[in-house]
């Protein structure tokens, strides 16, 4: 009796205040699904025992999306992306990330940073996913336009970055396809059991970063004094505001209320999604420490950083 066809679902899952993480994750997941399908279902294959489906991506940027519990299994392959804030995984996401249930799914952790450094964000995200029951098989750090700036890494991820993302997807698909084909060739155990053994033997993907994790990055002035911008929020030019409500929709913390568009009343993580999305330029920052840090970043990191891939 022939072996039943196993269906593997590939999807992206991301938090993306300004759309840069979404752009990379969606591209990697889409290209990876297409490449896996070509390798495992392409012309000339015998009666397929493996099938690849591209499942809808999961955007957990909106606050309500983080109220759900997401459960996966050994037939899921997740490209999982978050932005880097202060060199780490955003701490506001930790309670949500700790509710994920991987249950043997494969994961590809991806972080996006604003051309300074990703510090320990990637190793932190990898370890969180491993602790939640995922097997990490590849990882990457890409560059996106810095949330504070329209100058630092302006327009990234750009065409060159997207070409790297496509190549990364192809290399990751090649690795996963090899694992799936080898598991299917096993005779003594079910393919899923063989695959779990293989993934356990491989261990977490090796990435850059330190353990124990370093403290969150703190901006400093040229004398080494800490610049505290934790409580800084954008301000509103009421003469420019048209009450369109875009800022209400894009705020990932739900900190801008529909009855008071433009006014940030709750937690602000300075993703700057509201400021960059406002069609009238009605939101702005004027805090001296924030502006000083923004300028120092622009002056200190003008060289183009390139993506880091880990396979």
For residue 224, tell me if it sits in a domain: no
Instruction: Report the CATH number that the domain containing residue 251 is assigned in CATH.
Output: 3.30.70.20
Give the per-residue pLDDT at 1.
Answer: 41
Is residue 71's pLDDT more than 50?
Answer: yes
- Domain end (from 216, 244, 273): 216
**What is the tens place of the pLDDT at every residue in 279-299?**
999 999 999 999 999 999 999
Give the per-residue pLDDT at 43.
Answer: 59
Domain that holds residue 247: 235-298
Is residue 42's pLDDT more than 70?
Answer: no
For residue 306, tell me if it sits in a domain: no
- Structurally, how many domains does the chain consist of? 2
For residue 71, tell me if it sits in a domain: yes
Give the per-residue pLDDT at 4.
Answer: 74
* % of the chain at pLDDT higher than 70: 96
The answer on 76 and 183 residing in a single domain is yes
| DSSP annotation string for 229-264 | -TT---EE-TTT-----HHHHH-TT--B-TTSTT-B
Is residue 48's pLDDT more than 80?
Answer: no
The answer on 287 and 164 residing in a single domain is no
SS3 content of the chain, % helix, strand, coil (to 5): 35, 15, 50
For residue 43, tell me if it sits in a domain: yes
For residue 210, tell me if it sits in a domain: yes
The answer on 242 and 208 residing in a single domain is no
Distance CA 87, CA 84 (A): 6
Distance CA 231, CA 117 (A): 23
């Amino acid at each position: 009796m022939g072996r039943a066809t196993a269906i593997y679902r590939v999807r992206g899952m991301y938090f993306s205040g300004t759309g840069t993480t979404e752009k990379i994750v969606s591209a990697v997941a889409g290209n990876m699904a297409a490449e896996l399908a070509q390798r495992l279902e392409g012309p000339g294959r015998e009666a397929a025992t493996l099938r690849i489906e591209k499942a809808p991506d999961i955007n957990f940027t909106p606050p309500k999306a983080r109220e759900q519990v997401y459960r996966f299994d050994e037939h899921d392959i997740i490209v999982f992306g978050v932005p880097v804030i202060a060199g780490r995984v955003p701490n506001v996401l930790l309670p949500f990330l700790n509710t994920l249930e991987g249950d043997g799914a494969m994961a590809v952790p991806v972080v996006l940073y604003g051309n300074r450094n990703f510090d320990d964000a990637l190793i932190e995200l990898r370890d969180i996913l491993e602790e939640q029951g995922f097997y990490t098989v590849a990882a990457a750090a890409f560059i996106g336009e810095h949330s504070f700036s329209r100058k630092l890494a302006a327009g990234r991820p750009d065409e060159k970055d997207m070409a790297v993302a496509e190549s990364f997807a192809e290399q990751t698909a090649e690795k996963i396809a090899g694992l799936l084909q080898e598991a299917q060739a096993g005779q003594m155990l079910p393919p899923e059991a063989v695959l779990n053994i293989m993934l356990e033997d491989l261990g977490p993907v090796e990435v850059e970063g330190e353990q124990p994790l370093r403290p969150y990055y703190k901006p400093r002035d040229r004398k080494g004094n800490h610049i505290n911008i934790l409580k800084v929020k954008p301000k509103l030019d009421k003469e420019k505001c048209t009450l369109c409500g875009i800022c209400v929709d894009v705020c990932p913390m739900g900190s801008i209320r529909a009855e008071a568009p433009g006014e940030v009343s709750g937690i602000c993580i300075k993703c700057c999604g509201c400021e960059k999305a406002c069609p009238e330029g009605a939101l702005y920052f004027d805090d001296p420490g924030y502006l000083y840090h923004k300028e120092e970043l622009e002056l200190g990191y003008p060289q183009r950083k390139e993506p880091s891939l880990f396979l």
